[in-house]
Structure 1
Amino acid sequence: MSEKIIEFYFEFGSPYGYFAANQIDELGKEFDREVIWKPYMLGTAFAKTGSVPLREVPLKGEYCMYDWERISAYTGTPWAVPDKFPTAVLAPPRAFYWLMDQGRTDLAKTYAKAAYKAYFADKRPVWLAEEAAEVASECGIDKQEFLTAVQDAHVKSRLIEEGQKAIDRGVFGSPYFIVDGERFWGWDRLPMIRDWLQQGKWS
């Protein structure tokens, strides 16, 4: 793999991942870095860390609800709390790797962005395979092929494998970035990543 990359780990049910997804490619272009998108299921990490979804944490959940509204206003990114949140959003990450395995990298990323927006801006129920397929259709992906793929045992296993690979790399949150071996957790680390790419290590 080329050294000039930014590895971007995220979960489709993560608001902070959503905001990062709307900015990371521009950061990559700024430094001539390819951004490798790597969705996984946060439940895999939670099983290791003992964490729970932020909204379910006393005090912190209330703060995060406000923070997401604030980030939306700060960045100009559309935002609305989904009707079902938190919940497992499975079809989009499965479809992402299904598309990647066919060599349709650009389409996989286009779909990822569309699915994120559908969930966190348009309040569409993308946790349902049918709705995730509707979003796929809007991206030019055959709806029936999508629905068949996301129920395929190999496709399901692929997502599980990617989750284990993420854990093996030390990934535990969303968004999570690896740049030149340096690890950064959180949407608020994007300015730090920019400085890292400009200057390298600070000590």
Structure 2
Amino acid sequence: MKHVTFHFDVVSPYAYLAFEKLPEVLKGLSYRVDYRPVLFAGFLKHHGQLGPAEIAPKRDWTYRQVLWLAHAHGVPLQLPAAHPFNPLALLRLALACGSDGLVNRFVAETVFRHVWRGGADAADPQRLDALRAQLQPQRDAAGEAVKSELRANTESAIARGLFGVPTCEVDGRLFWGFDGLPMLREYLQGGDWFASGAWEQAAALPAGQVRRP
């Protein structure tokens, strides 16, 4: 049995799409999935990057592509009333329903669908109160223990090489993005390519030029 860790931030539409399609991608395989919330903004800060929604032309393309991908793959998706938004309250609420930095699939699904179905404001206080009442967390989402868990999840992920969400981690290998799911499945099926040395060779390629800020 393979152990897959699904690292996600609900602010990412690609993470939502990957979450919805993951059971289909893993169908017929022997696996266990852990769902681990992380703060995507922490990745961006660490790597000195802007998010896709912070670059105007890329923002437009991102929403168009996400809507098309949802249509093409049969995943219900409506853009929230405003995006990007601050996902901290949602990530902490999810973690308050779990333990050891993990949440179960029901909690992840509920929070993802709060954001990406219906087209409402994901950060609306009344909607957050209703979501909290639905999930009934056993811990205080605003407490230091939960905040520390989210920080630890994010810092640990960065230390292991994560730079974006969604990222599926298995056997120390990182599969990033919605479009990385077919690659993940082939690895879990024991695809020959992964034993060819190509995975390692790709990371050993020298940089011909490094652009300085």
TM-score range, shorter chain: 0.7 to 0.9
Report the equivalent of 2:14: 16
- Aligned amino acid, residue 26 of structure 1: E
Report the equivalent of 1:187: 178
Do the aligned residues in 2 keep the contact of 1:55 with 1:61 (CA within 8 Å)? yes
**After TM superposition, where is structure 1 displaced by more than 4 Å over at least 4 residues in a row?**
102-105
What's the TM-score, normalizing by structure 2?
Answer: 0.81
How many angstroms apart in 2 are the aligned matches of 1:181 and 1:101?
Answer: 22
Report the equivalent of 2:41: 43
How many angstroms apart in 1 are the aligned matches of 2:36 and 2:133?
Answer: 22
Q: Which has the larger radius of gyration?
A: 2
Percent identity (aligned)? 26
Do the aligned residues in 1 keep the contact of 2:85 with 2:122 (CA within 8 Å)? no
Give runs of aligned pairs for residues 65-84 of structure 1, distance below 5 A. 65-84=63-82
Do the aligned residues in 1 keep the contact of 2:114 with 2:122 (CA within 8 Å)? yes
**Aligned CA distance change for structure 1 residues 118 and 187 (closer, same or farther; 3 Å):** same
Unaligned runs of 5+ in 2: 197-213
Report the equivalent of 1:89: 87
Report the equivalent of 2:161: 170
Report the equivalent of 2:113: 117
How many angstroms apart in 2 are the aligned matches of 1:154 and 1:130?
Answer: 24
Correspondence for 1:160 among 126, 151, 161? 151
Deviations 1:25-70 (A, max 9, x none): 3333431211111111111100122222212214322221110111
What's the TM-score, normalizing by structure 1?
Answer: 0.85
Unaligned runs of 5+ in 1: none
How many angstroms apart in 1 are the aligned matches of 2:18 and 2:43?
Answer: 19
Larger helix share, 1 or 2: 1
How many angstroms apart in 2 are the aligned matches of 1:22 and 1:136?
Answer: 22
